[in-house]
Amino acid sequence: MAILALWIVMMGLLVQREREARRPVDAPPVEWRQPTETVGAAGPAREQWMGVYLNGTKLGYTVTRRQKQDGILRIEAKSHLLLPLQGEMRAVETESLVEVDAAQYMRSFSFTLDSEMQQMRVTGHVEPDRLVLRIESGGTTATRTIPLEKPITVPDALTPILAGSGRLRANTTHTLDLFDPMALAPAKAMVTIGQPEMIEGVDGPIRVLRAEISYKGFRTTAWVTPEGDTLKEESAMGWTMVRQNREDAMKPPEGDPQTDLVYSAAVPTNRVLKSPRQVKFLRAELTGADFSTLSLATERQQVEAAESGIVEIRREVPEAVRAPRLPVTEPQMKPYLAPDLLIQSDDPAIIETARKIVGRESDSWKAAVRIARWVHREVEKSPTVSVPSALEVLRTRKGDCNEHTVLFVALARAAGIPAEIAVGIVYLNDSFFYHAWPRVWVGQWVSMDPTFGQEVADATHIELVHGGLDRQSEIVRLIGRLRVRIIRAEE
Q: In angstroms, rounded to a whole number, what is the distance separating the alpha carbons of residues 56 and 158?
A: 26
**Segment 457-474, tens digit of pLDDT:** 999 999 998 887 667 777
Half-sphere exposure in the Cβ direction for 285 (13 Å, CA): 8
**Segment 360-416, tens digit of pLDDT:** 999 999 999 999 999 999 999 887 777 788 998 998 898 889 899 999 999 999 999
Indicate the pLDDT class of residue 4, thresholds 50, 70 and 90: very low
User: Using H for helix, E for strand and C for coil, what is the string for the chain?
Assistant: CHHHHHHHHHHCCCCCCCCCCCCCCCCCCECCCCCEEEEECCEEEEEEEEEEEECCEEEEEEEEEEEEECCEEEEEEEEEEEEEECCEEEEEEEEEEEEECCCCCEEEEEEEEEECCCEEEEEEEEECCEEEEEEEECCEEEEEEEECCCCCECHHHHHHHHHHCCCCCCCEEEEEEEEECCCCEEEEEEEEEEEEEEECECCCCEEEEEEEEEECCEEEEEEECCCCCEEEEEEHHHEEEEEECHHHHHCCCCCCCCCCHHHHCCECCCCCCCCHHHCCEEEEEEECCCCCCCCCCCCCEEECCCCCCEEEEECCCHHHCCCCECCCCCHHHHHHCCCCCCCCCCCHHHHHHHHHHHCCCCEHHHHHHHHHHHHHHHCEECCCCCCCCHHHHHHHCEECHHHHHHHHHHHHHHCCCCEEEEEEEEEECCEEEEEEEEEEECCCEEECECCCCECCCCCCCEEEEECCHHHHHHHHHHCCCCEEEEEEEEC
Q: Which has more confidence, 418 or 110?
A: 418
Residue 159 has pLDDT above 90, yes or no: no
Q: Which has more confidence, 211 or 162?
A: 211
- pLDDT for 16: 35
Domain-wise residue ranges, the chain: 2-254, 276-490
Residue 225 has pLDDT above 80, yes or no: yes
Q: In angstroms, rounded to a whole number, what is the distance separating the alpha carbons of residues 414 and 340?
A: 12
Query: What integer best gives the mean pLDDT of the chain?
Result: 84
Hey, which residues does 144 pair with through a beta bridge?
A: 133
Q: In angstroms, rounded to a whole number, what is the distance separating the alpha carbons of residues 264 and 262?
A: 5
- pLDDT for 21: 34
- pLDDT for 69: 84
**Segment 254-278, tens digit of pLDDT:** 766 556 666 677 888 999 999 999 9
**Stretch 86-114: mean pLDDT, rounded?**
85
Hey, which residues does 68 pair with through a beta bridge?
A: 73
- pLDDT for 42: 54
Residue 109 has pLDDT above 80, yes or no: yes
Contacts of 225 (CB under 8 A, 6+ apart): 208, 209, 231
Residue 1 has pLDDT above 50, yes or no: no
Indicate the pLDDT class of residue 103, thresholds 50, 70 and 90: confident
Count Cβ atoms below 10 Å from residue 139 Cβ, excluding itself.
Answer: 14
Residue 28 has pLDDT above 50, yes or no: yes
Hey, which residues does 141 pair with through a beta bridge?
A: 136
Residue 178 has pLDDT above 50, yes or no: yes
Per the document, the length of the chain is 491
**Segment 438-453, tens digit of pLDDT:** 999 999 999 999 999 9
**Segment 275-331, tens digit of pLDDT:** 999 999 999 999 988 887 788 889 999 998 766 789 999 999 988 788 999 999 999
Indicate the pLDDT class of residue 5, thresholds 50, 70 and 90: very low
% of the chain with per-residue pLDDT over 90: 40
Q: Determine the topology of domain 276-490 in CATH.
A: C8orf32 fold (3.10.620)
The lowest-confidence range among 194-203, 253-262, 346-355 is 253-262
